[in-house]
Structure formats: C-alpha cells, structure tokens
Amino acid sequence: SSGGSSTGGSTSTGTLSLNNTDFTFSALSNPSVQMKVNGTSSTPTWSIGNTSVATISADGVVKPVGPGSTTITCTVDGQTLTCIVRCSF
C-alpha cells in the first residue's frame, strides 16, 4: 500500500540506470536494440507491456513488431526501471 517509488531504504550504493529510457524504431533504424542496466552486475528480468508493438528477449534484445508505443520494465536488485519504446512504421 505504498504510493512512492523513490523513497530510499535501499542498501544499494549505486544508482541503477538503463542505457535507454525512450527510443523510437523507425523504418530506417536498426532492427533491434540491446538494453543494458548500468550500475549492477546482477542479471535483470525484462518484460514488455504490449508485444504487438515490440518484443524483448531474456537478454534484453528489443525488436519492433508493429506501430504504437509500449513500456519495457526491467527488474533488478529489487528496483524497477522502465523504458518507453515507440514504433513509427
């Protein structure tokens, strides 16, 4: 029943971040994007909201599927990071 997400209490020393937080697949872009987490050596868990827009593999490779936008969710070290993915073709 907690409403806040960035209210400390973690014993982690570094701040985790994704190599991308918002990107767009266009017809001319790379056919895939490799997502990475900076600040941890732990293995992240990847999921994506709408698999009709894009898919993400267990090792963080994002591939476009169809037009629209969706959100990648990464869970690692008890933290949740997100990245917006847009497909414009």
pLDDT band at residue 1 under the 50/70/90 scheme: low
Q: How many CB atoms lie within 10 A of CB 77?
A: 16
- What tokens appear for 12 in the block? 């982690």
**Count of alpha carbons within 13 Å of 68, Cβ hemisphere only?**
12
CA-nearest of 44, 37, 40 to 19 is 37
Condensed to tens digits (0 to 9), the pLDDT of residues 29-73 reads 668 999 999 999 999 999 999 999 999 999 999 999 999 999 999
2: pLDDT strictly greater than 70: no
